[in-house]
Amino acid sequence: MILMPQRSFRNHRNNPYVLDGLLANAHHSAAGVMWRFRTEVTTLLAAAAVIWQLAVAITIVWTLTAFAVLVTGAFITSPVRRFIIRRAWCVISRHRLQKVFFETRMHTRSGRLSLVLRIHPTQVGERALIWCRAGICFEDFEAHTGEIAAACYAREARIERSKRWAQLVQVNIVRRDTLAARHVVTSSLAAKAPTLPPAARNDAA
């Protein structure tokens, strides 16, 4: 009599979490790369569409000239420049957070990373809302605040727990201190104070 091998749940072919495996493969596929770089892809496609429409309406030379003037004016204007720089830091921080999740092994056994649901600029840096995968919790983020700050090129990172949902974590990336003094005012009395010779300083000591 031939005995058939028993079904083993440790066999990868009998994995009950097939959907998790498919999503993990999609994360490393072209679709996953497109999703992670969705902001850059959308910006490039929008810019290409605008340039194409202008090139059809006018010549390509005038289109490039107008585009160069627009970019120069955007960086000269302070509010627009600050908006662009802060949004650029949000995109950079999102990629750096995903990188530090992978490097510190803050991911599931199938390789799925936590989701950066939203990231927006603040007065001191950026704030990211993270959806923790199954197996990842607030304490994991709290134990890697140093790695998160270093990966995001920031001064420090602060982790906040959601008051309602345990799977939601807020990561505050601090880049600058708004309360720090920007201008150091020197006293005019110190400049007018007489300087004692070395012998007089030794006698006074």
Percent of the chain with pLDDT over 90: 29
Band (pLDDT 50/70/90 cuts) for residue 68 is confident
Q: How many CB atoms lie within 10 A of CB 19?
A: 10
Taking residues 40-62, report their average pLDDT. 81
Cα separation, 117 vs 130, whole angstroms: 6
Cα separation, 151 vs 188, whole angstroms: 43
Query: With left for phi above 0 and alpha for psi between -120 and 50, is residue 135 left, alpha or beta?
Result: left
Select the highest-mean-pLDDT range: 7-11, 33-37, 193-197: 33-37
Cα separation, 133 vs 128, whole angstroms: 15
Q: What is the pTM of this model?
A: 0.64
In the chain, which ranges are E strands? 115-121, 125-131, 156-161, 168-174
Task: Inform me whether the pLDDT recorded for 160 exceeds 90.
Answer: yes
Give the lowest-confidence range in 43-47, 73-77, 113-117, 199-203: 199-203
Task: Inform me whether the pLDDT recorded for 27 exceeds 70.
Answer: no
Closest by CA position to 116, among listed 127, 104, 103: 127
Task: Inform me whether the pLDDT recorded for 177 exceeds 90.
Answer: no
In this structure, the chain runs to a length of: 205
Greater confidence (19 vs 88) lies with: 88
Q: What is the pLDDT of residue 5?
A: 46
Which DSSP string do the residues of 74-102 spell out, in sequence order? HHHSHHHHHHHHHHHHHHHHHHHHHHHHH
Task: Inform me whether the pLDDT recorded for 3 exceeds 90.
Answer: no
Rg, the chain, Cα only: 27
pLDDT, tens digit (0-9, with 9 covering 90-100), for 101-134: 888 888 888 778 888 989 999 999 999 999 998 8
Mean pLDDT, the chain, rounded, equals 77
Q: Compute CA distances 49 → 52, 54, 57, 171, whole Å.
A: 5, 9, 12, 35
Taking residues 62-80, report their average pLDDT. 80
CA angle 142/147/151 to nearest 5° reads 130
Closest by CA position to 107, among listed 128, 131, 90: 131
| Domain residue ranges of the chain, discontinuous segments joined by + | 20-174
